[in-house]
Chains A and B, each alone.
Chain A
Amino acid sequence: MRTLTYAQAIREAHAQLLAEDPRVFLIGQGVRNPWYAGTSLQDLDKEFGRDRIIDSPVSENATTGAAIGAAITGMRPIVFHPRMDFMLLAADPIMNQAANWSYLFAGQVSVPVVIRAVINRGGEQGAQHSQAVQALFAHVPGLKVVMPSTPYDAKGLLIAAVRDGNPVLYIDDRWLYELEGEVPEGLYEAPIGSAAIRRSGRDVTVVATSYMAAEAVKAAATLAQRGIDVELIDLRSIKPWDRNLVYSSVGKTGRLVIADAAWMSGGIAAEIAASVAGEIFHALKAPIARVCLPDAPAPTSAVLEQAYYVGAEDIVTSVEKVLV
């Protein structure tokens, strides 16, 4: 099968969705500008016109709200936020409106909107160009949250999100944009709510999200050389998340490390750890470990960034710890 980069896969999903469905349109800050979107939206305006590829003023609240209003009245919008930090200005439309309306109006109204947030950190950008606040949104009933880590899922999850019929946060990570992988040419869906086993193993389960799933692949290879057999689960979807797959894996290995490159307190890793401890406590042979960011804003200095961010080495260390 042919390969694409993660960014190319995102672009292809947009192009095919726009070609397939006249209800799909794109709105947001910087959708025509590679500085904001990398190659993930390149030249879509030339292909589909500026009525459907709307490069908007910096009005996160109004553009997100407008996409929600358009979704309620029959469209399938994709809203683009070039950094997740910026999306917080749209917290009211996302958390109070999009998330609520189906329930609030007993299913008479639905909000089929995709809200895309890019995590774009590192590079000494500091506290407000780096945040990964997926847990805030996963907390809210009525929202779905997906975080692809491979080119295949980057395309398939975007297609599934647009077709889902609910408000879906699609979170991609700039650190993954050059990652290459096999991607089918046509339209296909990666199912929301279903995790993927990237490597089968018997000693320890590693559950990872987004960029950390890619890091966990490297960590598993290192650990294999040391005779440790990791079962790696790429969560893909953090709301809803695939409890059954995680429980059955931990039931087999008895050990769990969770890697999520977001703050530890109140995060996705905490939710998974609490669920595993609550549901299958007796399967556990060791305490659960979490590999997350420290509870501090992102620093700028490269030296401090180096200390702040987590990666494959931290996963290796945690796995070895739960195996003692």
Chain B
Amino acid sequence: MKLQNSDGTSLAREQLTSFLYRMQRIRMAEERIGQLVARREVRTPCHLSIGQEAIPVGVCAALNENDTVWGGHRSHGHYLAKGGDLNAMMAEIFGKATGCARGRGGSMHLVAPAQGIFGTVPLVAATIPLAVGAALSAKLRGTDQVAVAFFGDGATDEGHFHESLNLAALYRLPVLFVCENNFYSTHLTLKERRIKDNIVESAALHGLAGVVVDGNDVTAVYRAAHEAVECARSGEGPTLLECRTYRWRGHVGPAADLEVGADRRRELDEWQRRDPIAQCRALLGAGGVPFDVLDGVTAKVREEIELAVMFARQSPDPDDSGLLQHVYAARRGC
């Protein structure tokens, strides 16, 4: 059966159920990470994306496995949505040898090349030009791969962002710029950083397509991303997707940072009423999916996460004899 969405379109029930599963997985993994941080079992800085899950899930559902994604400090969601291994992420956050970066990266440096996740790094906006380069690479190699740069609204304050949009538009590169506009750059609100709430206008300025989408509506994100990805793949060039959302937790760690921003409490109440996961559940419920099926999704996710935490706890620490390995790559064949 098909389910009717808010924008009048429809998606298969199976697809929407898979969106719910993926969003739940990100939400519950991060809630668990937040608990582990609160009790100091995890010490690496963890930037949680709770409340923003519809964006990585909606965008990555529109991608092929060999499309590439590039992220920042708040990228647990991007990693999981693109197919990164949950156990390897959890172990990385614990700093273990079995982590996706072998304990050298922590929460802010996730990687899974086989899934097209070449790396996430916390230097704000730093991976935006790298995604442009991946798109240039795809074009020169003659593949149909698309590159996606995920970044927050804070990154649009950087020069990297504007230079990259210009280059991508100029060379009509297959890249999707996904701005997760949660209205905060650490503690500073959007209004304290720019004269207008107009991030998407950067697209027109640099000559590429710009789309604003409700970042808490997973089907809307999916549809917008799907269209942008098809454009990119068919050689019509890049798109800036401004996904408007809200970060429920503070900049870093599990606390809500209620002291920042004059309206933080009111905003949080308002945005929590627009919870992307609750909205997706309601849509499935209204479409006749029984609640025990939906609760089964939650139970399955909870089990996966507990297994991942157990895997991370039981994994060995990195061997310090490897401290200086991989500063340089082994020479590759020509």
Q: Does B176 contact A (CB under 8 A)?
A: no
By Cβ-Cβ distance, the 5 closest A-B pairs, closest first, are: A69-B133, A65-B129, A62-B163, A69-B130, A66-B133
Contacts of A101 in B (CB 8 A): 119
Given contacts A65-B130, A69-B147, contact A97 B123 (CB under 8 A): yes
Q: Are A96 and B123 in contact (CB under 8 A)?
A: yes
Type the 1/0 row for B67-108, where 1 means its CB is closer than 8 Å to any CB of A: 010100000000000000000000000000000011011000
Residue of A nearest to B145 (CB): A73
Contacts of A93 in B (CB 8 A): 126, 129-130
14 extra interchain contacts, Cβ-Cβ under 8 A, other than A66-B167, A74-B141, A92-B126? A21-B334, A23-B141, A59-B167, A65-B160, A69-B136, A77-B133, A93-B130, A102-B326, A106-B102, A106-B325, A106-B326, A109-B111, A109-B118, A163-B334
19 chain-A/chain-B pairs, Cβ below 8 angstroms: A25-B140, A59-B166, A65-B130, A66-B164, A69-B137, A70-B133, A73-B134, A73-B137, A93-B126, A96-B121, A97-B121, A104-B109, A106-B326, A107-B330, A109-B119, A142-B328, A165-B329, A165-B332, A166-B329
Please give the number of chain B residues whose Cβ is less than 8 angstroms from any Cβ of chain A in the complex: 46
Q: Does B203 contact A (CB under 8 A)?
A: no
Q: Which of A5-13, A49-57, A284-292 makes up part of the contact surface?
A: A49-57
Q: Does B204 contact A (CB under 8 A)?
A: no
Contacts of A96 in B (CB 8 A): 121, 123, 126
Q: Are B118 and A72 in contact (CB under 8 A)?
A: yes
Q: Does B327 contact A (CB under 8 A)?
A: yes
Q: Are B159 and A61 in contact (CB under 8 A)?
A: yes
Question: Counting chain B CB atoms within 10 Å of each CB, which of A77, A92, A104, A109 scores highest?
Answer: A104
Residue of A nearest to B149 (CB): A69
Contacts of A25 in B (CB 8 A): 140
Contacts of B130 in A (CB 8 A): 65-66, 68-69, 72, 93, 97
Contacts of A63 in B (CB 8 A): 129, 163, 167
Q: Does A281 contact B (CB under 8 A)?
A: no
Question: Counting chain B CB atoms within 10 Å of each CB, which of A21, A77, A106 scores highest?
Answer: A106
Q: Are B160 and A61 in contact (CB under 8 A)?
A: yes
Type the 1/0 row for A203-246, where 1 means its CB is closer than 8 Å to any CB of B: 00000000000000000000000000000000000000000000
Q: Are A105 and B167 in contact (CB under 8 A)?
A: no
Binding site for B on A (CB under 8 A): 21, 23, 25, 51-52, 54, 56-57, 59, 61-75, 77, 92-93, 96-97, 100-112, 141-142, 144, 163-166
Residue of B nearest to A20 (CB): B334
A59–B135 Cα distance when bound, in Å, is 17
Q: Does B331 contact A (CB under 8 A)?
A: yes
Min CB distance A218 to B, Å, is 35
Q: How many A-B residue pairs have CB under 8 A?
A: 152
Residue of B nearest to A106 (CB): B102
A21–B126 Cα distance when bound, in Å, is 28
Q: Are A69 and B332 in contact (CB under 8 A)?
A: no
A101–B117 Cα distance when bound, in Å, is 13
A62–B119 Cα distance when bound, in Å, is 17
Given contacts A57-B166, A97-B121, contact A70 B137 (CB under 8 A): yes
Contacts of B134 in A (CB 8 A): 69-70, 72-73
Contacts of A97 in B (CB 8 A): 121, 123, 126, 130
Residue of B nearest to A142 (CB): B327
Residue of A nearest to B108 (CB): A104
Given contacts A57-B167, A66-B130, A93-B129, contact A75 B140 (CB under 8 A): yes
Please report which residues of chain B, range 110-145, place their CB below 8 angstroms from some CB of chain A when the two chains form the complex.
Answer: 111, 113, 118-119, 121, 123, 126-138, 140-141
Q: Are A102 and B328 in contact (CB under 8 A)?
A: yes
Min CB distance B238 to A, Å, is 12
A73–B140 Cα distance when bound, in Å, is 11
A147–B69 Cα distance when bound, in Å, is 35
Given contacts A51-B140, A57-B167, contact A65 B327 (CB under 8 A): no
From A61, A72, A107, B325 is in contact (CB under 8 Å) with A107
Min CB distance A91 to B, Å, is 11
Q: Are B140 and A70 in contact (CB under 8 A)?
A: yes
A25–B136 Cα distance when bound, in Å, is 11
Contacts of A70 in B (CB 8 A): 133-134, 136-137, 140
Q: Are A67 and B133 in contact (CB under 8 A)?
A: yes
A68–B160 Cα distance when bound, in Å, is 14
Q: Does B278 contact A (CB under 8 A)?
A: no
Contacts of A66 in B (CB 8 A): 129-130, 132-133, 136, 164, 167
Residue of B nearest to A58 (CB): B163
Q: Are B101 and A104 in contact (CB under 8 A)?
A: yes
Q: Are A105 and B129 in contact (CB under 8 A)?
A: no
Q: Does B170 contact A (CB under 8 A)?
A: yes
Contacts of A105 in B (CB 8 A): 101, 104-105, 109, 111, 119
Q: Are B141 and A65 in contact (CB under 8 A)?
A: no
Min CB distance A157 to B, Å, is 15
A25–B171 Cα distance when bound, in Å, is 15
Q: Are B326 and A107 in contact (CB under 8 A)?
A: yes
Contacts of A75 in B (CB 8 A): 136-137, 140-141
A183–B284 Cα distance when bound, in Å, is 72
Contacts of B127 in A (CB 8 A): 69
Type the 1/0 row for B309-334, where 1 means its CB is closer than 8 Å to any CB of A: 00000000000000001111111101
Contacts of B113 in A (CB 8 A): 108-109
Contacts of B325 in A (CB 8 A): 106-107
Residue of A nearest to B129 (CB): A65
Contacts of A21 in B (CB 8 A): 334
A219–B70 Cα distance when bound, in Å, is 52
Q: Are A103 and B129 in contact (CB under 8 A)?
A: no
Min CB distance A153 to B, Å, is 19
Min CB distance B119 to A, Å, is 6
Given contacts A59-B166, A66-B129, A93-B126, contact A104 B119 (CB under 8 A): yes
Contacts of B126 in A (CB 8 A): 65, 92-93, 96-97
Residue of B nearest to A76 (CB): B334
